[in-house]
Amino acid sequence: YSLDHFVIPSHYQKDVSSILIPHGIIMDRIEKLAKLIVEDSKGPLVICCVLKGGHQFFADLVNEIKKCNTVLGQSVPLSLEFIKVRSYHNDVSTGTVTISLTDEECQDWKNKNLLIVEDIIDTGNTMVKLLHKLQEFQPASVRVASLLLKKTPKSNGYVPNYVGFAIPDEFVVGYALDYNEYFRDLDHICIISEHGKEAYAIKN
């Protein structure tokens, strides 16, 4: 997609090299995902947003599920949860995942159907560790919706239940995905330019 045809905040004008997925296409795909999720749901869902990168996808997905709840036969009561996941990679994937809710708060998930909403699966290591951790709270079921799935040789083979788009092995930003906390305020999913990498690099 040519950059000239799309609205990009002027402060990022030189910082993206291409638009990988325009905002309108993201929204269309989310409408479809919401329908699939509602069709697959037998009862109430606990939808759990993985912050920060998942927040925009979460917000738009929840909106679309709410619309399904008013027009389709199936209606799925929702409760909304937010977790922040920290994974320690050290380049070797021996890390642990810590989640920001206390174990006590997570006890409410016992026998519930969870839907985890994540921005992107890259190696898959974070999600595999998160899913392992969640088993401690004895949910009835856990499904995962990830907006993006990176096609990378570094993948551990994990594939989420719902995927918005499979994307090439590039670092992407926008639609709440960040580079050093920047670019979350960009609607399209974009590939960052060399100028952008330099401009928002953390310099010691």
Active site residues: 122
Q: If contact means CB under 5 to 8 A according to the sort of partner, which of ligand 5GP, Mg ion, none does residue 123 touch?
A: ligand 5GP
**Contacting positions for Mg ion (CB under 5 A):** 53, 119, 178
Cis peptide before 154 (omega within 30 of 0): no
CA dihedral over 38, 39, 44, 49, signed as positive or negative = negative
Q: If contact means CB under 5 to 8 A according to the sort of partner, which of ligand 5GP, Mg ion, none does residue 113 touch?
A: none
Strands, E, within the chain: which ranges?
16-21, 45-51, 78-87, 97-99, 113-121, 141-150, 162-167, 172-173, 189-192
Question: Based on CB atoms, which residue is closest to ligand 5GP, 108 or 170?
Answer: 170
Q: If contact means CB under 5 to 8 A according to the sort of partner, which of Mg ion, ligand 5GP, none does residue 56 touch?
A: none
> Do the beta carbons of residue 172 and residue 191 sit within 8 Å?
yes
**Contacting positions for ligand 5GP (CB under 6 A):** 53, 87, 118-126, 171-173, 177-179
If residue 33 lies in a helix (H) or strand (E), which one and from where to where? Answer: helix 23-40
Tell the smallest beta-carbon distance from residue 170 to ligand 5GP (Å).
7
The percent of the chain in helix, strand and coil, each rounded to the nearest 5, is 35, 30, 35
Tell the smallest beta-carbon distance from residue 9 to ligand 5GP (Å).
17
> Do the beta carbons of residue 103 and residue 83 sit within 8 Å?
no
Question: Based on CB atoms, which residue is closest to Mg ion, 53 or 164?
Answer: 53
Tell the smallest beta-carbon distance from residue 153 to Mg ion (Å).
20
Question: Based on CB atoms, which residue is closest to ligand 5GP, 112 or 129?
Answer: 129
Tell the smallest beta-carbon distance from residue 73 to Mg ion (Å).
33
